[in-house]
Amino acid sequence: MATSAAKSAAARVRELRKQIEHHNYRYHVLDDPEVSDAEYDRLLRELKALEEQYPDLVTVDSPTQRVGATPVSELQEVVHTRPMLSLDNAFADEDVVAFDRRVRERLEDVEQIEYSAEPKLDGLAISFRYESGRLVQAATRGDGLRGEDVTHNVRTIKAVPTVLRGSPPKLLEVRGEVFMLIAGFKAMNQRALERGERTFVNPRNAAAGSIRQLDPRLAADRPFDVFFYGVGETDGWKLPARHSEALQQLREWGLKVSPLLKIVQGAEGCLQYYREIGAKRASLPYEIDGVVYKVNRFVQQRDLGFVARAPRWAIAHKFPAHEENTVVKGVEFQVGRTGALTPVARLEPVFVGGVTVSNATLHNMDEVRRKDVRIGDTVVIRRAGDVIPEVVKVIVERRPKDAQEVELPSKCPVCGSAVEREEGEAVARCTGGLVCAAQRKEAIRHFAGRRALDIDGLGTKIIDQLVESDPPLVRSPADLYVLTAEQLAALDRMGEKSAENLVEAIEASKKHATLPRFLYALGIRDVGEATAAALGNHFGSLKELQGATEEQIQEVPDVGPVVAAHVYKFFQEKHNRDVIAALTRHVQLQSQARKAATGEGPLAGKTFVLTGSLDSMSRDEAGDRIAALGGKVAGSVSKKTSYVVAGAEAGSKLAKAQELGVEVLDEKKFLKLLESG
Ligand code: IVH
C-alpha cells in the first residue's frame, strides 16, 4: 500500500530521471550542457538517495544503474535479425573513383551520386535494441549473424541513452560504434601500470576487452563513448528517404551521431572529405581509421543490394594504418643527455602512420624484458600522431629459432665508459658524464632548446660537428659563447650568412636568460621547467642555490628528497661548477626576486594552465611572467588548477576546465591580472 510520502517520492523520482536524461542529451548528443557537473551530480545524488529509501522504485534503466549491476556468468548468444555487415575497403583515390563508377553504372540513369560521408571509428560495432523507447538489449557484431549479449556493460556507458526522447517507434534497432577516448585510455593504462596490472595495446583493444567482460563494474569506470551510424530492424517507423535524414531522426531521439557527418556529391566530394578529415585526424579525441561513404538515398541502397558480407552502396576509405608488422633486425643503444641508455629497435623499414619507419623505441631494458623482444622477432609497430614509433608487442608465433635475446652492454657504445644501473631503476646509464660525446651533444642541444636559452638555428647537425671536430670547438655550453662566425662558416652546410645569424642568436641568448630558464638549461637530472621555476623563485639567485644544503633544497615546494639530491650533487661536481662559472661570465641572469616560497608574490599559491596561443606574448613568456609573480604553471587541468588561460584555438584543456568548473581567463583578463599583480 503506497503511502502519500511514497507517492510523492515516486513522482520526484520520475521528475529527476527526466531531468537527468535531458541533461545527458544536452551533454552527450548536443555537446552543449545547460548545467554544471556539480549541479548534475546533485540531481543524481538526490535520485540515488530516494531509490535507497524506496528500493521498489529502482528500475534497470534508471540513471543510477550506470555504475554497473551484478556480473553475468557468461555472455549469451544473440542472433541478429538483420545481419551486421562489414565494409569493403578503399586505400587509394582510384579505388574510390572506381567505387563511384560501379555505383553509377548499376543505377544506370544517375549522373551524380549523393553520399553520406562519416568518420570510420576504430572501436567495436554494437547493435542496440530499443522497445517502446527503452534499451532492452545490446549485442556485439560477432560474425555478423550471431553476436554476444553485452547489455550489462553497455548500460554503464553514459552516452548511450537507456530511454529515448520524443516519440520513438515500437521497435528500433540501431547500430553504432562504441569506442574509448584516447585521453581516458591513456589514464586507464597509467593506473594499470601503477598497480602492476596488464595494459592494453590501443584504445580499440581496450574497448573490445572491456565490453566483453562479465562484470559490468569493470566497464563502468572506463572512458567509453559512442556514435550511432545506422538503422537495423524497426517497427512503427516509416523511414525517411535518406540515410542522413534517418540519422538526424536518431539524433532527435537522443542517439549521438558524429558531428563530422557530411553530405557530399560524387567521388570528388568524397575525396575532398577524406582530406578534410585526414587533416583533423590527429586532433580528434578518439581514433578513426578512415572514412565511410554511403549512398545516401535508401531507394538507391536497395537497388544496389549486397555482395557476400558487404553492401554495394558503401565503402570504407582507410587512412594509413597506425600499426604494422615488421622484423627487428637489431637493437642498438642510444645515449641521452643524462647518460640514459635507450634501446632502439632497428627495423625492416615499414610504412606506418603515413611515413616509413626504420627505428622504434623500446624505452628501457625492463620494457625489452616485459615485451620479450628478441632480434629476429616479428613485431607490431605503432606510430600514432606525432609520437615516436614504438614496438607494441611481439608476434611470438613467428619467432625464428635463432632469435637472439637483447643484452644490456656493459660499456657505453659511444665513449666506452662503464654502464651502471641503480637498484630499482629501470634505466641504465653511461657513467661518462660530459666525457661522453653523446651526453655532451644532448646537453648542448638541451641548453639551446626553445624552452631553455632558445638559440635559434643551432640544430643537431651543427652540434654534432662542433662536438666531433678535432680538437672539439665545443666541449660545454660555455664554449658556444666564444665561437666566431669564421669558425662556424667552416662547418659543413654552413654559409657565411647563416654563420653570422647563428653568432647573433647566441649573442641574443645572453640577454633573455632568466634564472629559471638558466637552471632548466643546465639539464640537471629530474629538473624540468616547473622544478627549475620553483628553485629559481625560492632561492632568487644562482649563488644562493649553489650554496644551499640538500635539506635547504628540499624546502622548495614540490621538491622531494630524490630531486633535491640530484640538484645538490650537480652543484657539488667540479666540472659543473667550472661550466657554470664560465657561463656566467657571458650570460647575465635577469634579477629574480624571492617570491613564491615566501608567499610574497601576488600569485603565490595559484596554479595556471595555458592553452591556445596568445596575441601579446608567447606561451613561454606568459609562463615566465606568472612565475615572476610567484604563480605556478602546470601542464594539465585538474581540480587544483586556479585558472586556465585560453588563447586562440584553445583545445581540450579548455573543455576540461569547463568540465571541472575551473575559472577560464581570456587574454584580456589574463593581462589585467598580470598588471594588477
Ligand atoms: S556502416 C553496412 N559506418 O566499420 C554498413 N561502419 O567494416 C556497415 N564502422 O563493423 C557499417 N564507423 O564497426 C559504418 N560510420 C560508420 C562506421 C562503421 C566504424 C565500423 C563498424 C563496422 C566496420 C565495417
**Residue partners of 659: CB distance under 8 A and separation at least 6:** 37
User: Do residues 344 and 373 touch, judged by C-beta distance below 8 A?
Assistant: no
- Report how far Cα 192 is from the mean position of its chain's Cα atoms: 17
Instruction: Name the phi and psi angles at 230, rounded to 5.
Output: -165, 170
316 lines ligand 1 (CB under 6 A): yes
126 lines ligand 1 (CB under 6 A): no
Instruction: Give the position, in ligand 1's atom list, of the atom nearest the Cα of 316.
Output: 7
Q: 52: helix, coil or strand? A: helix
**Whole-number pLDDT of residue 503:** 92
- For the packed helices 37-53 and 4-24, what is the interaxial angle rounded to 10 degrees? 150
C-alpha span between 18 and 511 (Å, rounded):
62
Using only C-alpha atoms, what is the Rg of the chain?
A: 30
**Whole-number pLDDT of residue 593:** 47
**Whole-number pLDDT of residue 61:** 81
- Report how far Cα 128 is from the mean position of its chain's Cα atoms: 29
- Annotated catalytic residue within 7, 18, 120, 238: 120
311 lines ligand 1 (CB under 6 A): yes
**Whole-number pLDDT of residue 594:** 44
Q: For residue 87, report the distance from its CA to the centre of ligand 1, in Å.
A: 7
Buried b (16+ CB within 10 A) or exposed e, 285-324: ebbbbbbbbbbbbbebbebbeeeeebbbbbbbbbbebbbb
**Residue partners of 373: CB distance under 8 A and separation at least 6:** 328, 331, 345, 362, 379, 391, 394, 406
Instruction: Name the phi and psi angles at 418, rounded to 5.
Output: -65, 150
Instruction: Give the position, in ligand 1's atom list, of the atom nearest the Cα of 122.
Output: 19
C-alpha span between 85 and 271 (Å, rounded):
24
Q: Using CA positions, which residue lies closest to atom 23 of ligand 1?
A: 86
Query: Where do we find the cell 578529415?
Result: 277
In one-letter notation, the amino acid at residue 604 is: A
- pLDDT < 70 positions in the chain: 1-2, 67-70, 384-387, 512, 591-600, 677
Instruction: Name the phi and psi angles at 559, rounded to 5.
Output: -105, 115
125 lines ligand 1 (CB under 6 A): yes
Q: For residue 230, report the distance from its CA to the centre of ligand 1, in Å.
A: 9
Q: Using CA positions, which residue lies closest to atom 12 of ligand 1?
A: 120
pTM passes above 0.75: no
C-alpha span between 230 and 172 (Å, rounded):
11
Q: What are the contacts of 390-394 at 24+ separation with CB within 8 A?
A: 390/360, 390/361, 390/362, 390/363, 391/328, 391/345, 391/360, 391/361, 391/362, 392/201, 392/202, 392/323, 393/201
> What is the per-residue pLDDT across 92-116, written as a single tens digit (0 to 9) for each?
999 999 999 999 999 987 889 999 9
Q: For residue 125, report the distance from its CA to the centre of ligand 1, in Å.
A: 7
87 lines ligand 1 (CB under 6 A): yes
Helix (H) or strand (E) holding 536: helix 529-539
User: Do residues 657 and 645 touch, judged by C-beta distance below 8 A?
Assistant: no
> Which cell goes with 450?
626553445
C-alpha span between 454 and 263 (Å, rounded):
47
H helices of 145-265, in order, are 151-154, 182-194, 203-211, 216-220, 243-252
Q: Residue 96: left if φ>0, alpha if ψ -120 to 50, beta else—which one? A: alpha
Whether residue 170 lies in the annotated active site: no
88, 99, 120, 233, best to mutate for ligand 1 pocket (most atoms within 8 Å of CB)? 120
Domains of the chain: 4-67 (1.10.287.610), 89-318 (3.30.470.30), 323-405 (2.40.50.140), 431-588 (1.10.150.20), 607-676 (3.40.50.10190)
**Whole-number pLDDT of residue 46:** 94
User: Do residues 453 and 447 touch, judged by C-beta distance below 8 A?
Assistant: yes
Helix (H) or strand (E) holding 79: strand 77-79
Q: Using CA positions, which residue lies closest to atom 17 of ligand 1?
A: 120
If we measure between CA atoms, which residue out of 128, 117, 153 comes closest to residue 78?
A: 128
